[in-house]
Amino acid sequence: MKRNNVKSFQLTVWSYWKENGRHDLPWRKTKNPYKILVSEVMLQQTQVPRVIEKYKSFLKKFPTVRALAKAPLSAVLKEWSGLGYNRRGKYLHDAAKEIVGTYRGNFKEALKHPPARTTVQSGGLPGVGPYTRSAVKVFAFNEPEVLLETNVRTAITHHFFQNKKNVKDESIRTIAELAAKGQDPRTWQSALFDYGSFLKRSGVRNNHRSAHYTKQSKFDGSLRQVRGAILRELQNGPKNQRALHVGHRMSHMFEKALEGLARDGLIKKEKGKWRIA
Protein backbone atom coordinates (compact mmCIF):
# COMPACT_ATOMS: atom_id res chain seq x y z
CA MET A 1 0.00 0.00 0.00
CA LYS A 2 1.53 3.26 -1.10
CA ARG A 3 1.85 5.84 1.68
CA ASN A 4 0.71 8.68 -0.59
CA ASN A 5 -2.56 6.83 -1.32
CA VAL A 6 -3.34 6.65 2.39
CA LYS A 7 -2.38 10.29 2.84
CA SER A 8 -4.68 11.31 -0.01
CA PHE A 9 -7.50 9.32 1.59
CA GLN A 10 -6.93 11.06 4.94
CA LEU A 11 -7.04 14.48 3.32
CA THR A 12 -10.28 13.61 1.50
CA VAL A 13 -11.94 12.44 4.71
CA TRP A 14 -10.81 15.47 6.72
CA SER A 15 -11.87 17.85 3.98
CA TYR A 16 -15.39 16.41 3.96
CA TRP A 17 -15.57 16.47 7.76
CA LYS A 18 -14.53 20.10 7.96
CA GLU A 19 -17.21 21.26 5.53
CA ASN A 20 -20.04 18.76 6.01
CA GLY A 21 -19.48 16.68 9.13
CA ARG A 22 -22.49 15.85 11.30
CA HIS A 23 -21.09 17.79 14.23
CA ASP A 24 -24.51 18.28 15.88
CA LEU A 25 -25.36 14.62 16.49
CA PRO A 26 -26.22 14.51 20.20
CA TRP A 27 -23.92 11.61 21.06
CA ARG A 28 -21.00 13.56 19.62
CA LYS A 29 -21.45 16.23 22.25
CA THR A 30 -20.63 13.91 25.15
CA LYS A 31 -17.80 11.75 26.39
CA ASN A 32 -20.02 10.04 28.96
CA PRO A 33 -19.51 6.28 28.44
CA TYR A 34 -23.09 5.45 29.42
CA LYS A 35 -24.53 7.83 26.84
CA ILE A 36 -22.08 6.58 24.23
CA LEU A 37 -23.11 2.99 24.98
CA VAL A 38 -26.80 3.87 24.59
CA SER A 39 -26.14 5.52 21.21
CA GLU A 40 -24.02 2.64 19.94
CA VAL A 41 -26.59 0.00 20.85
CA MET A 42 -29.37 2.06 19.28
CA LEU A 43 -27.38 2.62 16.09
CA GLN A 44 -26.99 -1.11 15.52
CA GLN A 45 -29.18 -1.80 12.46
CA THR A 46 -31.10 1.48 12.83
CA GLN A 47 -30.66 4.62 10.74
CA VAL A 48 -29.34 7.80 12.39
CA PRO A 49 -32.50 9.94 11.85
CA ARG A 50 -34.64 7.37 13.68
CA VAL A 51 -32.18 7.12 16.55
CA ILE A 52 -31.79 10.84 17.33
CA GLU A 53 -35.16 11.43 19.02
CA LYS A 54 -35.21 8.01 20.68
CA TYR A 55 -31.76 8.63 22.08
CA LYS A 56 -32.91 11.91 23.63
CA SER A 57 -36.11 10.49 25.10
CA PHE A 58 -34.38 7.36 26.40
CA LEU A 59 -31.78 9.41 28.27
CA LYS A 60 -34.48 11.68 29.64
CA LYS A 61 -36.21 8.59 31.05
CA PHE A 62 -33.00 6.84 32.14
CA PRO A 63 -30.36 9.59 32.59
CA THR A 64 -27.69 7.41 34.21
CA VAL A 65 -26.53 3.81 34.06
CA ARG A 66 -27.84 3.33 37.60
CA ALA A 67 -31.28 4.65 36.62
CA LEU A 68 -31.39 2.16 33.76
CA ALA A 69 -30.18 -0.70 35.94
CA LYS A 70 -32.94 -0.04 38.51
CA ALA A 71 -35.75 0.22 35.94
CA PRO A 72 -38.05 -2.73 35.20
CA LEU A 73 -37.56 -4.35 31.81
CA SER A 74 -41.14 -3.43 30.85
CA ALA A 75 -40.32 0.29 31.19
CA VAL A 76 -37.14 -0.13 29.15
CA LEU A 77 -38.92 -1.97 26.32
CA LYS A 78 -41.72 0.60 26.30
CA GLU A 79 -39.18 3.38 25.79
CA TRP A 80 -37.33 1.26 23.22
CA SER A 81 -40.49 0.68 21.18
CA GLY A 82 -40.11 1.88 17.61
CA LEU A 83 -36.41 1.12 17.26
CA GLY A 84 -36.88 -2.56 16.45
CA TYR A 85 -34.72 -5.50 17.49
CA ASN A 86 -36.03 -5.35 21.06
CA ARG A 87 -33.35 -7.75 22.24
CA ARG A 88 -30.97 -4.81 22.02
CA GLY A 89 -33.01 -2.99 24.64
CA LYS A 90 -32.92 -6.01 26.93
CA TYR A 91 -29.19 -6.50 26.48
CA LEU A 92 -28.56 -2.81 27.19
CA HIS A 93 -30.62 -3.18 30.36
CA ASP A 94 -28.68 -6.32 31.34
CA ALA A 95 -25.37 -4.58 30.60
CA ALA A 96 -26.36 -1.65 32.83
CA LYS A 97 -27.14 -4.04 35.69
CA GLU A 98 -23.78 -5.75 35.20
CA ILE A 99 -21.87 -2.45 35.09
CA VAL A 100 -23.54 -1.27 38.28
CA GLY A 101 -23.61 -4.58 40.14
CA THR A 102 -20.22 -6.05 39.24
CA TYR A 103 -18.14 -3.02 38.31
CA ARG A 104 -19.77 -0.36 40.54
CA GLY A 105 -20.35 1.88 37.55
CA ASN A 106 -16.73 1.73 36.35
CA PHE A 107 -16.99 1.49 32.55
CA LYS A 108 -13.25 1.21 31.97
CA GLU A 109 -13.09 -1.86 34.18
CA ALA A 110 -16.15 -3.36 32.51
CA LEU A 111 -14.65 -2.87 29.05
CA LYS A 112 -11.40 -4.61 29.98
CA HIS A 113 -13.11 -7.98 29.89
CA PRO A 114 -13.63 -10.03 26.73
CA PRO A 115 -16.71 -8.88 24.81
CA ALA A 116 -19.92 -10.87 25.02
CA ARG A 117 -22.74 -11.07 22.50
CA THR A 118 -25.63 -12.23 24.60
CA THR A 119 -25.21 -13.34 28.17
CA VAL A 120 -23.22 -12.50 31.25
CA GLN A 121 -22.14 -16.13 31.45
CA SER A 122 -20.22 -15.84 28.17
CA GLY A 123 -17.98 -13.15 29.67
CA GLY A 124 -17.99 -9.37 29.41
CA LEU A 125 -21.13 -7.28 29.12
CA PRO A 126 -24.41 -8.71 27.77
CA GLY A 127 -24.96 -7.81 24.13
CA VAL A 128 -21.75 -5.78 23.95
CA GLY A 129 -19.77 -7.42 21.17
CA PRO A 130 -16.30 -6.52 19.88
CA TYR A 131 -17.50 -3.59 17.77
CA THR A 132 -19.62 -1.91 20.47
CA ARG A 133 -16.89 -2.42 23.06
CA SER A 134 -14.33 -0.75 20.79
CA ALA A 135 -16.73 2.07 19.87
CA VAL A 136 -17.27 3.02 23.51
CA LYS A 137 -13.51 2.98 24.08
CA VAL A 138 -13.00 5.30 21.10
CA PHE A 139 -15.79 7.81 21.66
CA ALA A 140 -15.81 7.89 25.47
CA PHE A 141 -12.10 7.47 26.23
CA ASN A 142 -10.44 8.40 22.90
CA GLU A 143 -8.60 5.09 22.71
CA PRO A 144 -7.13 4.11 19.30
CA GLU A 145 -9.42 1.26 18.27
CA VAL A 146 -10.30 0.48 14.66
CA LEU A 147 -14.06 0.37 13.95
CA LEU A 148 -15.33 -1.60 10.97
CA GLU A 149 -18.94 -1.00 9.98
CA THR A 150 -20.86 -0.29 6.79
CA ASN A 151 -19.75 3.33 6.34
CA VAL A 152 -16.09 2.51 6.93
CA ARG A 153 -16.26 -0.44 4.53
CA THR A 154 -17.92 1.79 1.92
CA ALA A 155 -15.24 4.50 2.18
CA ILE A 156 -12.21 2.19 2.14
CA THR A 157 -13.58 -0.13 -0.53
CA HIS A 158 -14.40 2.88 -2.73
CA HIS A 159 -10.86 4.26 -2.51
CA PHE A 160 -8.73 1.11 -2.36
CA PHE A 161 -10.68 -1.87 -3.74
CA GLN A 162 -12.78 -0.51 -6.59
CA ASN A 163 -12.17 -3.43 -8.95
CA LYS A 164 -12.07 -6.28 -6.44
CA LYS A 165 -14.65 -8.75 -5.15
CA ASN A 166 -14.89 -10.69 -1.88
CA VAL A 167 -12.83 -8.09 -0.05
CA LYS A 168 -12.05 -9.43 3.41
CA ASP A 169 -12.32 -7.37 6.58
CA GLU A 170 -8.68 -8.15 7.30
CA SER A 171 -7.69 -6.18 4.20
CA ILE A 172 -9.98 -3.28 5.11
CA ARG A 173 -8.69 -3.30 8.68
CA THR A 174 -5.08 -3.07 7.50
CA ILE A 175 -5.84 0.14 5.61
CA ALA A 176 -8.05 1.48 8.41
CA GLU A 177 -5.17 1.06 10.85
CA LEU A 178 -2.77 2.86 8.52
CA ALA A 179 -5.22 5.70 7.94
CA ALA A 180 -5.95 6.10 11.66
CA LYS A 181 -2.30 6.24 12.64
CA GLY A 182 -1.42 9.62 14.10
CA GLN A 183 -5.03 10.87 14.01
CA ASP A 184 -7.20 11.82 16.98
CA PRO A 185 -9.20 8.57 17.42
CA ARG A 186 -12.54 10.10 18.38
CA THR A 187 -12.62 12.75 15.67
CA TRP A 188 -11.11 10.57 12.96
CA GLN A 189 -13.69 7.81 13.41
CA SER A 190 -16.53 10.33 13.32
CA ALA A 191 -15.11 11.87 10.15
CA LEU A 192 -14.70 8.48 8.52
CA PHE A 193 -18.27 7.49 9.40
CA ASP A 194 -19.62 10.69 7.91
CA TYR A 195 -17.58 10.41 4.73
CA GLY A 196 -18.75 6.84 4.17
CA SER A 197 -22.34 7.89 4.80
CA PHE A 198 -21.92 10.69 2.26
CA LEU A 199 -20.63 8.23 -0.36
CA LYS A 200 -23.66 6.00 0.16
CA ARG A 201 -26.06 8.94 -0.18
CA SER A 202 -24.20 9.87 -3.37
CA GLY A 203 -24.98 6.49 -4.90
CA VAL A 204 -21.89 4.48 -4.03
CA ARG A 205 -23.00 0.89 -3.47
CA ASN A 206 -20.09 -1.42 -2.88
CA ASN A 207 -20.78 -3.36 0.32
CA HIS A 208 -21.82 -6.32 -1.83
CA ARG A 209 -18.15 -6.68 -2.70
CA SER A 210 -17.31 -7.36 0.92
CA ALA A 211 -16.78 -11.02 1.75
CA HIS A 212 -18.75 -10.41 4.97
CA TYR A 213 -21.75 -8.55 3.57
CA THR A 214 -25.27 -9.85 4.27
CA LYS A 215 -28.37 -8.01 3.13
CA GLN A 216 -30.83 -7.12 5.86
CA SER A 217 -34.21 -8.81 5.49
CA LYS A 218 -37.39 -6.78 5.02
CA PHE A 219 -39.30 -5.84 8.16
CA ASP A 220 -42.84 -5.96 6.74
CA GLY A 221 -44.17 -9.49 7.02
CA SER A 222 -41.18 -10.66 9.03
CA LEU A 223 -40.85 -12.53 12.30
CA ARG A 224 -39.40 -9.32 13.77
CA GLN A 225 -42.66 -7.54 13.02
CA VAL A 226 -44.70 -10.18 14.88
CA ARG A 227 -42.34 -10.09 17.85
CA GLY A 228 -42.66 -6.32 18.06
CA ALA A 229 -46.45 -6.51 17.88
CA ILE A 230 -46.56 -9.01 20.75
CA LEU A 231 -44.32 -6.86 22.94
CA ARG A 232 -46.45 -3.79 22.27
CA GLU A 233 -49.57 -5.64 23.37
CA LEU A 234 -47.91 -6.90 26.55
CA GLN A 235 -46.82 -3.40 27.54
CA ASN A 236 -50.44 -2.87 28.62
CA GLY A 237 -50.33 -5.85 30.96
CA PRO A 238 -50.35 -9.68 30.95
CA LYS A 239 -52.54 -11.49 28.42
CA ASN A 240 -53.38 -15.09 27.73
CA GLN A 241 -52.28 -16.61 24.46
CA ARG A 242 -55.72 -16.47 22.88
CA ALA A 243 -56.06 -12.75 23.57
CA LEU A 244 -52.59 -12.13 22.15
CA HIS A 245 -53.29 -14.11 19.03
CA VAL A 246 -56.43 -12.18 18.07
CA GLY A 247 -55.79 -9.87 15.16
CA HIS A 248 -52.46 -11.29 14.06
CA ARG A 249 -52.56 -11.55 10.29
CA MET A 250 -49.28 -13.50 10.28
CA SER A 251 -50.55 -16.28 12.52
CA HIS A 252 -48.14 -18.84 11.04
CA MET A 253 -45.31 -16.94 12.75
CA PHE A 254 -47.07 -16.38 16.06
CA GLU A 255 -45.92 -19.51 17.91
CA LYS A 256 -42.36 -19.09 16.70
CA ALA A 257 -42.36 -15.44 17.79
CA LEU A 258 -43.60 -16.36 21.28
CA GLU A 259 -40.98 -19.08 21.63
CA GLY A 260 -38.22 -16.73 20.50
CA LEU A 261 -39.26 -13.92 22.84
CA ALA A 262 -39.38 -16.33 25.78
CA ARG A 263 -36.01 -17.84 24.85
CA ASP A 264 -34.48 -14.35 24.68
CA GLY A 265 -35.78 -13.56 28.15
CA LEU A 266 -38.10 -10.81 26.94
CA ILE A 267 -41.36 -12.44 28.02
CA LYS A 268 -42.43 -15.19 30.42
CA LYS A 269 -45.60 -17.13 31.16
CA GLU A 270 -47.19 -17.09 34.60
CA LYS A 271 -50.56 -18.49 35.63
CA GLY A 272 -51.58 -19.02 32.03
CA LYS A 273 -50.73 -15.49 30.92
CA TRP A 274 -47.79 -13.99 29.06
CA ARG A 275 -46.08 -10.91 30.45
CA ILE A 276 -42.88 -8.97 29.90
CA ALA A 277 -40.14 -10.67 31.90
Q: Tell me the catalytic residues.
A: 40
Q: How many CA atoms lie within 13 A of 13 on its CB side?
A: 27
Closest-CA residue to 212 (of 272, 157, 273): 157
Q: How many CA atoms lie within 13 A of 254 on its CB side?
A: 12
Burial class (CB in 10 A: 0-12, 13-18, 19+), 121: exposed
First to last CA, the chain: 52
List of residues 6+ apart from 177 with CB closer than 8 A:
146
CB 133 within 8 Å of CB 115:
yes
